[in-house]
Structure 1
């Protein structure tokens, strides 16, 4: 049975919703179609942390600590999706885009290499290895669990 996810402040003290326009700009910039559930989540929960938050990547267990922000906040660049992508881009295959971060500064990413409209979810480690996590964003969110 899937647990209901509760979202708590992480980057900011209060929610800062992302607009459909901001999501559309990101889609245009990356040339992809973001999952509808992801767009729904960032409209209320960008920069927040989910509970439960543990996910499995094969034999690895990790924690989704924060849903990266798509709005620009110069004081919070470490959590900005575009800044994360700029750091990762030279080191990972084309078609992989970050959407969340772990406590160890690893990135959960959309993997569009097989399909421009139905991305898989992968974990990009600090040494830039790519590990499969889920076949879709909805599957990933449904798989979050407690310890």
Structure 2
């Protein structure tokens, strides 16, 4: 399976998170874990596309640099949301409080999943045959 296919497959599961029992701590933990995977897949897809576009930033391993470069090419990305996702991803290991975990899940449902979907849809439009090879 290729990166973009993984991205879409994981997103299909994550996008159903709102239908789950959001009071169950195992469900909450699973949503947070799926978000982490989705974010990793997202910035790595962007990294491959930056390389394809001939951008030097595609050679770096830094998610922040990849995201910053991607904003300059892909106007459909919401910089504020992606930086918030990066911050959430980096602080996830420090979430021990159930209330904080529930807050993060609501942010994932309300902001992050729609942004992941926006990325998927726009990349499919911009690179109809290329995304299948990523």
The answer to which structure has the higher helix fraction is: 2
Higher strand share: 1
Higher gyration radius (CA): 2
**Quick one: higher RCO (CA 8 Å, sep 6+), 1 or 2?**
2
Task: Calculate the TM-score normalised by the size of structure 1.
Answer: 0.24
Q: TM-score, normalised by structure 2?
A: 0.26
